[in-house]
Amino acid sequence: MDFHRVMKDLACVVGETAIMIDPDTLAGHGVDGVRPGAVVFPTDIREISEIVKYANEHGLALVPRGSGTKMAMGNPPKRLDLVVSTCRLNRMKDVDTANLTLTVEAGVIFRDVQARLATEEGRCYLPVTDPDTPENAPFCSDREHKGSFLPIDAPFAEQATIGGIIATNSSGPRRLLYTNPRDIILGVRFVSPTGDIVGMGGKTVKNVSGYDVSKLMVGSMGTLGILCDVTLRLLPLPERMETLLVGFSSFEDAAPFADRLLETRLLPAAVEVMTHSTMDHILPKDAPALDSGRYFVALAFEAFDEAVDRMNREAAEAAAANHAAGTATLEKELHGGFWLKFGNLGIATAEKFPGFFMLHLNYPVSIWKEIFRFAEKMLRVEGIDHTVSAHAGIGICKITLSIDGLDPDAVDRVVRVVERLQTLCRGAGGNCAVHNAPAEIKARLKVWGEEGPDLLLMRRIKEKLDPLAVMSPGRFVGGL
Amino acid sequence: MDKRELITCLEGIVGPANVLVSDMDLELYSYDASLDRARPDVVVLPDSTEEVSKLLALAYRENIPVIGRGSGTNLTGGTIPVNGGIILHFSRMNRILDVDIANRTAIVEPGVITLDLQTMVSQYGLMYAPDPASQKVSTLGGNFGENSGGPHCLKYGLTSNHILGAQIVLNDGTVIQTGGKSVDNPGYDLIGLMVGSEGTLGLATKLILKLIREPEAVKTMLAVFDTIEDGANAVSETIAEGIIPATLEMMDQLVIEAVLKTINAGFPLDAACVLIIELDGMRDGLERKTQKIMDICRRNHVREFKTARNEAERTLLWAGRKGAFGAVGRIRPSYMCCDGTVPRNRLPEALRRVAKAGKKYALPIGNVFHAGDGNLHPLILFDDRDSDELDRVRRLATEILKICTDLGGTISGEHGVGLEKLKETHFIFCNSDLEFERRLKKAFDPTDILNPGKMIPPAACEPS
């Protein structure tokens, strides 16, 4: 493939400065070590449509990219010619706080959305120290609204783009209260794998006009199109937000505490059960000291004053009844800062270790304790550095593994662990996916876990919409 | 294959008692709650996934249309067999197979009546949130096909947000399972795509439902206004104030009058409109929220504001709302229920324009709808024996949908496109949008036997 020719052709579409083939850019935009032939930076949906049509005509394979925070998910691409960056699609097109809906381009940073929705007084869902957003309008200036937020608990909140969050259906512990992107998306405009501009849904919070293509695009990992505009529901900013951290010396005390809270009619935003090793990465240095516990339950309360008071009260009672080693409260920015750090867990560890793996386990919620115990015990026995954290009320567990180098023995141990977790989860009707792994190890792992009986239907959809396998070929489930 | 051979094959799959071919039967299944009619060739009542699979395999081989049907309460012609074919009636598949309290899921067959399931799980302190007004009659399979809503979807979302998985029979009889009791199984969101696909992509034979804890406390309020404007403004302000009630419903005078003839629901006869507002959740802070709503209503000149004091009063208020569609039968024998939806801050404008359109076509319009999410249900009242009226009704309905889309809204909030709104799809979709839908349809059903003629207008019909 002659990329000088490609560059010339696409320069007619996006302009000369918006397409790059220099080695540094190519290295920086690689996917699992696979380098593209060119990286292109379109500014709007029409340019993207032209690019995709061109790719179809010339048999090019392309991968869309936002900030790259989750590019390690999935299989290495079977082929990769072009990386299409969405970073210049960064306009907030419709911020309608009175209607509690938002339409932004795919390249808009999640953090900027929350900042834009903050109140004049500086109340914001994320702990935003520097309030400036790209449009240079500091806080939301229309005084009709009391502050709102985009109810997604996205990891890598300060870097991730909305497009990437939607493409991966990214969520976090506070999904317990707010559900996930799939449940709040209202509309999309995207470029299909054959280069058509398609728009479905809109800004009404209810819409059953036609197939729910928005939902199809959520979590589709760049294999069914390139997202350009996304419309999402907003929620009013909670009156008060704080976190209660409870430490326990034993999992056998932490677990019933979490269960007890989940059985009440209380509505915490998160009930997160984690190992000490996890908390080590997160605990703010200036937070009130916790008596050393080996397991922690982090409770997020985001509600009206009275409700937060009651949740604090009942949680404190339950903590005492379950032999808690200590508690600490994180208010205001410390609350936001804690969950921000939690969401950055992947980055924090990845930077330290070349052999970094992130696992995403899902299983019926009733067996969460068994999964946690099994995973933790096995990781100790195999002697692998790890963090384990469970969204206790949802049936999701996130595990990070770090090995010092990629020596064969260490890698074997990791592969063994992953396989056993996959068997365990699959047997229970769930799955274990590998969301991050060194590219060279991926070949030894089933990064998406076991395939399900519905793969045949997914394949039908992919083949119909992307007959030439232009979009992210091979990266998704079943090699789609 | 001729008709007789077909009947024999069908009887071989479900048994002769479950194959209906008499003139009367075919007539009975030629209509649903919409204004369209068409006779099927035969009606079959399967009792298992296996039977459904064999039926579809047969239909696929012989190229016969198949239309799934629950209780036939859909309002847009989703169960009308426009090209004849086989009505696959799910009434026998009405078992609740599993209620898993620890995992908060229920597994049901598609013929289970929605309210029956809700009543059953309520004894465990759990609830299945989507509550379409038809819930006493409609089936969960039908809800799946239409992505049904209801008053509580303002806070809790639509059917699609409460289905975790399903067993689906595809166009050629292949049976697949997708989703399950666990969330986040990787892959495309097939459930998300199939819920609301109006029987055009496949037929669900088992549904895995998400259950949630019943809220600790509920407060139901009635606010009475002397103008529709005031009521609509109160709705917009409530959302802008940052309160998401569990429901926020509006009824206007015409509907109130009709309802009060049937039920003493506690609405005053001469109100221009009433709002039924429900808050739920933890009991803490509920008083303060109620007070805020009362203040908003007062700022909008509310005439009367009361809170249901007990479950009996609450039930009565809701009976008034849920019986509204039926009650308007006292005014005129038929109604066309439009389902246009607007962004909720455009609500007052939308209602004004709809009222004006009603006058232009000289047809009475009753409004009873989900004000909190901007989902209008103008009921155009008429006598369907008068063909001139019917024609005016259809034109008015189209104009109402245009009003909604002009205000940034859409043509269907919860009833679907079906047959009824095929001609209005171009208000919201352009060529490439419809082409994309056609491609998806082809991926699932290339020979177009699954509920043909619904949802997507044929390519030839498009305006150039």
Chain A CB contacts of B169 below 8 Å: none
Instruction: Say if B458 is an interface residue toward chain A (CB within 8 Å).
Output: no
The string of pLDDT tens digits covering residues A416-463 is: 999 999 999 999 999 999 999 999 999 999 999 988 999 999 999 999
Q: How far is CA A387 from CA A323, A346, A401, A425, B350, in A?
A: 23, 10, 7, 18, 54
Nearest residue on chain A to B404, judged by CA atoms?
A204
Mean of per-residue pLDDT scores for chain B:
93
pLDDT at A134 over 80: no
From B146, B181, B244, residue closest to A364, measured CB to CB: B181
| Confidence band of A263 (pLDDT split at 50, 70, 90) | very high
Mark yes or no for CB contact B284/A310 under 8 Å. Answer: yes
Residue B464: per-residue pLDDT: 43
Residue A97: per-residue pLDDT: 87
pLDDT at A287 over 60: no
**Quick check: helix, strand or coil at residue A36?**
coil
pLDDT at A143 over 50: no
Q: How far is CA B73 from CA A154, B69, B132, B137, B315, in A?
A: 40, 9, 11, 8, 23
From A267, A452, A460, residue closest to B282, measured CB to CB: A267
**In what helix (H) or strand (E) does residue A248 lie, and over which residues does it extend?**
strand A240-248
Numbers of helices and strands, H then E, in chain A: 17, 19
Mark yes or no for CB contact B436/A192 under 8 Å. Answer: yes
- Interface with A, mutate which of B168, B185, B373, B423 (most A CBs under 10 A): B185
pLDDT at B75 over 50: yes
Residue B186: per-residue pLDDT: 93
Mark yes or no for CB contact B437/A456 under 8 Å. Answer: no
Mean of per-residue pLDDT scores for chain A:
92
| Confidence band of A122 (pLDDT split at 50, 70, 90) | confident
- The span from the CA of B25 to the CA of A190, in Å, is 46
Taking residues A86-93, report their average pLDDT: 95
ipTM for the complex shown: 0.94
| Confidence band of A255 (pLDDT split at 50, 70, 90) | very high
Mark yes or no for CB contact B183/A396 under 8 Å. Answer: yes
Mark yes or no for CB contact A199/B433 under 8 Å. Answer: yes
Residue A284: per-residue pLDDT: 61
The string of pLDDT tens digits covering residues B377-426 is: 899 999 888 888 889 999 999 999 999 999 999 999 889 899 989 989 99
Nearest in space to B103 (alpha carbons), one of B209, B7, B174: B209
Cβ A41 vs Cβ A18: under 8 Å:
yes
Mark yes or no for CB contact A306/B408 under 8 Å. Answer: no
Taking residues B298-304, report their average pLDDT: 96
Q: Locate A72 and state its tokens.
A: 């390690």
pLDDT at A349 over 50: yes
Mark yes or no for CB contact B239/A100 under 8 Å. Answer: yes
pLDDT at A245 over 90: yes
**In what helix (H) or strand (E) does residue A8 lie, and over which residues does it extend?**
helix A3-14
Which parts of B136-201 fold into alpha helices (H)? 140-146, 153-156, 190-194
| Confidence band of B444 (pLDDT split at 50, 70, 90) | very high
Non-local (6+) Cβ contacts of B139 within 8 A are: B70, B71, B90, B91, B94, B110, B111, B112, B113, B114
Cβ B424 vs Cβ B361: under 8 Å:
no
The string of pLDDT tens digits covering residues B123-172 is: 999 999 999 989 999 999 999 999 999 999 999 999 999 999 999 999 99
Cβ B216 vs Cβ B281: under 8 Å:
yes
The string of pLDDT tens digits covering residues A147-164 is: 899 999 999 999 999 999
Residue A260: per-residue pLDDT: 97
Question: Cα distance from A291 to chain B (closest Cα, Å)?
Answer: 31
Non-local (6+) Cβ contacts of A270 within 8 A are: A153, A172, A173, A174, A176, A177, A298, A299, A300, A339, A391
Question: Which one-letter amino acid corresponds to residue A12?
Answer: C
Lowest mean per-residue pLDDT among A86-90, A192-196, A230-234, A284-288: A284-288
pTM: 0.95
| Confidence band of B257 (pLDDT split at 50, 70, 90) | confident
Residue A348: per-residue pLDDT: 67
Taking residues A191-211, report their average pLDDT: 92
From B180, B242, B285, residue closest to A236, measured CB to CB: B242
> Which one is predicted more confidently, B454 or A281?
B454
From A303, A429, A465, residue closest to B439, measured CB to CB: A465
**In what helix (H) or strand (E) does residue B224 lie, and over which residues does it extend?**
strand B217-225
Chain A CB contacts of B429 below 8 Å: 200, 209-210
pLDDT at B214 over 60: yes
Compute φ and ψ for B142, nearest 5 degrees: -65, -40
Q: How far is CA A350 from CA A387, A406, B233, in A?
A: 12, 14, 52
Lowest mean per-residue pLDDT among A81-85, A279-283, B4-8, B276-280: A279-283
| Confidence band of B1 (pLDDT split at 50, 70, 90) | confident
- The span from the CA of A181 to the CA of A197, in Å, is 22
**In what helix (H) or strand (E) does residue B107 lie, and over which residues does it extend?**
strand B105-108
Per-residue DSSP letters for A320-379?
Answer: HHTT-SEEEEEEHHHHHHHHHHHHTHHHHHHTT-SEEEEEEEE--GGGHHHHHHHHHHHH
- The span from the CA of A112 to the CA of A108, in Å, is 7
Q: How far is CA B223 from CA B276, B306, B347, in A?
A: 7, 7, 17
Chain B CB contacts of A143 below 8 Å: none
Cβ A75 vs Cβ A447: under 8 Å:
yes
